[in-house]
Amino acid sequence: MHVLLSPSVIRTPVANLLLRVLPVRNTINMARPVAHSINFNSKHLRKGDPLPPFNGKLRVYNMRYCPYAQRTLLALIAKNIDFEVVNINLIDKPEWLTQKSPLGKVPALEISDGECLIESLITAEYVDEAYPQRPLLPKDPVQKAKDKGLIERTGAIHTFLIKILRSPETITTDVVNGYYNTLALLESELTMRGTLFLGGVQPGFIDYMIWPWLERIPSVVEIDTRIAIDNKRYPKLNEYIKRMENDSVVKQYIIPLDVYRKFFNNYVKGVYEYEYLNIKE
């Protein structure tokens, strides 16, 4: 169950209930890209490293290559919110991580000292509702429900990608077909909606929640060619991916393809190097 965590209370995660206890934040100057001043590539903290003191800003406990945490970060970047990133070594976790995220996972979004939200979709939706500038979710409740449903239906992409990296021996025909069916679903949705992005004329919640997995696919093709998105079978999806790559929000957090390849090629060998973006060649 998704929950809101604080030292003394557990609350339900429904966004409108959250907003009864958590105030709507003030908007800021959308012309100035705050993300340029945020260090996304800070060292990943590990066991023995101290917990950085809370500085009053929103804080994301993150792992630079984690697609789930990326969802939260894209929502924050889209809102042009000033926030802090604390990167976590998920293999050698700091002792204090479970104070922020009981299961020791990322993302966790610290909204005040000691009060954290967990789970990627919950944190991203909180950001959208607490910060009214540039709404990401549709106002229409039917369309909002449809978009959330489509996000859930893309799970086969996550499954195939994770199995390629962690347990390729468990990849069955059903797993592969489920992946292709999901690509076909996205192709169909793009055709039916007839918009540049699934969210409309610019990327919305649905785009930023699906994008992290699409971003990683090209870097994994060398490991398993079946994950490639064929241009002839999925032309609209490939065009959409190119548009997303050029989105100003995505570009502020995207990882270069060669860095992804290094990370994933070592990941499948059981080597977890988090600091490629900090290594000077």
The catalytic residue among 18, 60, 66, 85 is: 66
Backbone angles phi, psi at 100, to 5 degrees: -100, -30
Residue 256 preceded by cis peptide, ω within 30:
no
Measured between alpha carbons, how far is 58 from 28 in angstroms, rounded to an integer?
14
66 is catalytic: yes
Residue labelled with tokens 């996000």: 151
Q: Are strands 83-87 and 58-62 parallel, antiparallel or unpaired?
A: parallel
Strands laid side by side in the 4-5 sheet: 10-11, 4-5, 115-118, 108-112, 58-62, 83-87
Q: In which element (H, E) is residue 83 found?
A: strand 83-87
Q: In which element (H, E) is residue 146 found?
A: helix 141-153
Burial 24-43 (b: 16+ CB within 10 A, else e): eeeeeeeeeebbeebebebe
- Alpha carbon distances (Å) from 241 to 58, 216, 222, 235, 253: 30, 11, 19, 10, 15
- Alpha carbon distances (Å) from 5 to 76, 93, 110, 244: 20, 19, 9, 33
Give 195's contacts (C-beta < 8 A, 6+ positions apart): 201
Catalytically active residues are 66
